[in-house]
Amino acid sequence: MAPDYVFRPMTTSDLPLVRRWLAEPHVVQWWGDPSEQYDLVSGDLNEPAMDQFIVAAGSRDFAYLQCYDLTAWNSGFGEHPRGTRGIDLFIGEPGMIERGHGSALAGAAACRAMVGRSVRAI
């Protein structure tokens, strides 16, 4: 059973942590160049169509999750109904990978959004 996750909105004070996570080899494998990704992630902090979260299990921050309007960035996915959201995430802490957290986080975020809670409040 997955732990209860705490999703809190990312702030500028989280940027050093996110920069460190983006440089982890297991994150670079999927997200690519850490400097490029950091520029994108940090540049989206004030983007209204992008919600960014730091995720904790217990009191330990260990992951990043972003949720966004597909029409804003990802036109390559084809046509989607208005309001369709995309989710991207990574587990930043190496000791937390390969434990099922990725799919559990995506599911927890989707469930919270579907039961009427604002994405901004997950």
The full set of domain ranges for the chain reads: 5-121
Residues in the chain: 122
Q: How many CA atoms lie within 13 A of 120 on its CB side?
A: 5
**70-80 average pLDDT score:** 67
Express each pLDDT in 35-51 by its tens digit: 999 999 999 999 888 88
User: Could you give the CA distance from residue 18 to residue 88 in angstroms, rounded to a whole number?
Assistant: 14
Is the pLDDT at 7 greater than 80, yes or no?
yes
75's CB contacts (< 8 A; 6+ apart) are none
Please list the alpha-helical segments (H only) found in the chain.
15-22, 25-31, 34-43, 70-73, 101-114
According to DSSP, residue 95 is labeled G
Concatenating the DSSP letter of every residue in 71-85 gives HHH-GGG----TT-E
**49-54 average pLDDT score:** 89
Q: What percent of the chain has pLDDT over 70?
A: 81
**25-29 average pLDDT score:** 96
Q: Which CATH architecture has domain 5-121?
A: 3-Layer(aba) Sandwich (3.40)
Per-residue pLDDT, 73: 61
pLDDT winner (highest mean) among 7-21, 70-84, 92-106: 7-21
